[in-house]
Chain A
Amino acid sequence: MAWVTWRQHRAQLVGALGLVVALALGALATRLPIQAAYHREALSDCLPPASKSGCDIIVRHFESQFDTWVAALRGLAVLPALAGLFVGAPLLARELEHDTHRFAWTQGVTRRRWLLSKTVLLAAATVASAAAASAIVMWWRSPFDTLEGRIAPSAFDVEGVVVPAYALFALAIGVLAGLVFRRSVAAMTATLVAFASTRLVVAELLRPHFLAPLHRVVIGADPIPQTGGWVLNDTLVDAVGRQITAGREDLAVLHAQHAGIDPQTYLVTLGWKRVVAYQPAGRFWTFQLIEAGIFVTLAAAVVLATLWLVRRTPT
């Protein structure tokens, strides 16, 4: 079956390899000026927890130089979906579209083994390419990671072990969609919708609660200290801990301005403080493993469902 898989999917495998190589070259080309700026601006002296004076300005300047690239890098979050769209979805849909399943599924290799072998081999290739892409991104982002941490979604989504896990899940969903919809275009659309919504639900609803967030109390106008954490929310509470609504805050600020007092000082005198809920930077790998575990489990469940269905699906 390895030959069969290679022969039928070599275009996609070569495409994946090409993508990884292109990513590596792009990363290399853009990373060199970053490296140069990093050394020129002596950012290593400003790494947390060191708090040399003026460091925040240096760091901000450094980051603003490259913020378009960093933003563009976030776009790589769509890469794992490609495995589902271009490898997973056509896997069965193309056979069913062209009737070739009548040929492939009536050979000595049973259709379940045929599907299992193909899925396993393509999954291995997918995981390998996604891992390579993730490693490239981690290398590229390392200066930014040391400065701002990487547990916030902008880095978390494109680094570490979640990337191969996402790709694996996308692949599995694609194969299932191909079996259910039997048409490549429909299967690709369904894959995209299912993948994006699952990613969104996990990232927005589950990830913030993988572990109970930590809280830090900030008095008055103090900036939130650079900890590299992922800030979940930042609320103003009064002396007894009740949340203060935006309306009440505005009123208080207005009041202070009328009285000619500095609003921040006024809020402190009222006993109001800000409570910041955040996930600390140190939880990065724990969160990565939890999230990757979720997606690998989902992928396995989807693959099992597909194997079960493929034997039952009338053709």
Chain B
Amino acid sequence: MNPAPLDARGLGKRFRRDWGLRDCTLTIPHGAVVGLVGPNAAGKSTLLSLAAGLLAPSEGSIAVLGRDPLRDPAVLADVGYVAQSAPLYRSFTIADTIEFSRRTNSRWDEEIVFDVLTSMSPETKVGSLSAGERSRLALALALGKRPQLVLLDEPFARLDPLAGREFLQLLMDGVAETGATVVIASHVVADVERVCDHIVLLTDGGVRLEGNVEELLESHRILMGPRRPLGSIRGVSSIVRERHGDRQLTLLVRSHGPIADPSWRVERVGLEELLLAYMAPERLPTPMPPEKVPLRWHG
């Protein structure tokens, strides 16, 4: 068994006084397309920088393809990392930039690069590219390494929706060939929702939710019913979010079995809604009281 593409154990990074990331433990499975989501300053960039060997952990450890990216930076040959806002040399032409990557990587697949770049003129200066073209160039270079792990930090931040969609398509075509694992950091859930099959949700520097998308959707339900005091509900392990209407109560719950109580209307939840519910900083999920305790009615 190959080592996991990305494996963090109690990983933490402190910037001066504040923790950018704390107690982060996660394992990303092979071939997954991971949406690394969370609000701004949740630690997404920090996690990717740690994975790219650009930061040193303050505590815990991180392994990329089984290797420490800081102590053993040669592992970066197998990692395609695109930093936030895709920094490239502005004075270089596209051709220069490709040449730079070709010369600084032992494995280099020019074909993939040109597949992604298609019609862009090689003599154009990087400084004069639009945000979309620049992101595309950076993606092409990352894929040209034929990496086993692709790390993209907020690739959609400066793209219009159409360019974002196109970018995702290029990315998915590119990795379809190599079977690389992809981690896409984004603060906009909708951007990654369509492609990712694994979610890591970070809030305030910690992992809030992590798992396979299907499993997450399967284990969460929306319950709707008349207003009532909350007690334990059979089949529900915790309430992620509760909304009180005039008469109606809407719950987003984590369930561990079918919800039998017929007074609840049970619905599946969408990924975006689920993630937004977990992201909402106002309250943490309430663990349900043990089910055997009889319901107590007030008023």
Binding site for B on A (CB under 8 A): 1, 3-4, 7-8, 98-112, 114, 311-312, 314-315
Q: Is the beta-carbon distance between B79 and A106 smaller than 8 angstroms?
A: yes
Q: Is the beta-carbon distance between B88 and A103 smaller than 8 angstroms?
A: yes
Q: Is B87 an interface residue (CB 8 A)?
A: yes
Q: Is the beta-carbon distance between A99 and B87 smaller than 8 angstroms?
A: yes
Q: Which 9 A-B pairs have the closest CB atoms?
A: A108-B77, A102-B83, A108-B105, A107-B104, A99-B87, A110-B73, A109-B104, A106-B81, A315-B54
Q: Is the beta-carbon distance between A4 and B103 smaller than 8 angstroms?
A: yes
Contact of A111 among B73, B81, B96, B105 (CB under 8 A): B73
When chains A and B are docked, how far (Å) is the Cα of A109 from the Cα of B92? 19
Q: Main secondary structure on chain B at its contact with chain A? A: loop
Residue of B nearest to A117 (CB): B104
When chains A and B are docked, how far (Å) is the Cα of A311 from the Cα of B49? 14
- Across-interface contacts of A107 in B (CB, < 8 A): 76-77, 101, 104-105, 145
When chains A and B are docked, how far (Å) is the Cα of A102 from the Cα of B81? 8
When chains A and B are docked, how far (Å) is the Cα of A112 from the Cα of B74? 10
Q: Is B56 an interface residue (CB 8 A)?
A: yes
When chains A and B are docked, how far (Å) is the Cα of A311 from the Cα of B74? 12
Q: Is the beta-carbon distance between A314 and B101 smaller than 8 angstroms?
A: no
Which of A1, A7, A98 is packed against the most chain B CB atoms within 10 Å? A7
- Across-interface contacts of A109 in B (CB, < 8 A): 104-105
Q: Is B55 an interface residue (CB 8 A)?
A: yes
Q: A4-B103, A106-B81, A108-B107 are in contact. List 12 more A-B contacts (CB 8 A).
A: A100-B88, A104-B104, A105-B76, A106-B53, A107-B104, A107-B105, A108-B77, A108-B104, A114-B104, A311-B73, A314-B56, A315-B49
- Across-interface contacts of B79 in A (CB, < 8 A): 106
- Some 29 contacts from A to B, beta carbons below 8 A apart, are A1-B104, A4-B103, A99-B87, A100-B88, A102-B49, A102-B52, A102-B81, A102-B87, A103-B87, A103-B138, A104-B104, A105-B54, A105-B73, A105-B76, A106-B79, A106-B81, A106-B83, A107-B76, A107-B77, A107-B105, A108-B74, A108-B104, A109-B105, A112-B73, A311-B70, A311-B73, A312-B56, A314-B54, A314-B55
Check A100/B87 contact, CB under 8 A, given A105-B54, A108-B104. Answer: yes
Binding site for A on B (CB under 8 A): 49, 52-56, 70, 73-74, 76-77, 79, 81, 83, 85, 87-90, 92, 96, 99-101, 103-107, 138, 145
Shortest Cβ distance from residue A220 to the other chain B in the assembled complex, whole angstroms: 69
When chains A and B are docked, how far (Å) is the Cα of A1 from the Cα of B102? 10
- Across-interface contacts of B70 in A (CB, < 8 A): 311
Q: Is the beta-carbon distance between A4 and B100 smaller than 8 angstroms?
A: yes
Shortest Cβ distance from residue B211 to the other chain A in the assembled complex, whole angstroms: 28
When chains A and B are docked, how far (Å) is the Cα of A307 from the Cα of B20? 27
Residue of B nearest to A3 (CB): B103
Shortest Cβ distance from residue A1 to the other chain B in the assembled complex, whole angstroms: 7
Q: Is the beta-carbon distance between A99 and B104 smaller than 8 angstroms?
A: no
Contact of B76 among A1, A101, A108, A311 (CB under 8 A): A108
Q: Is the beta-carbon distance between B104 and A4 smaller than 8 angstroms?
A: yes
Residue of B nearest to A312 (CB): B56
When chains A and B are docked, how far (Å) is the Cα of A214 from the Cα of B99? 60
- Across-interface contacts of B54 in A (CB, < 8 A): 101-102, 105-106, 314-315
When chains A and B are docked, how far (Å) is the Cα of A111 from the Cα of B70? 10
Contact of A7 among B49, B74, B96, B106 (CB under 8 A): B96
- Across-interface contacts of B96 in A (CB, < 8 A): 7
Contact of A110 among B76, B92, B100 (CB under 8 A): B76
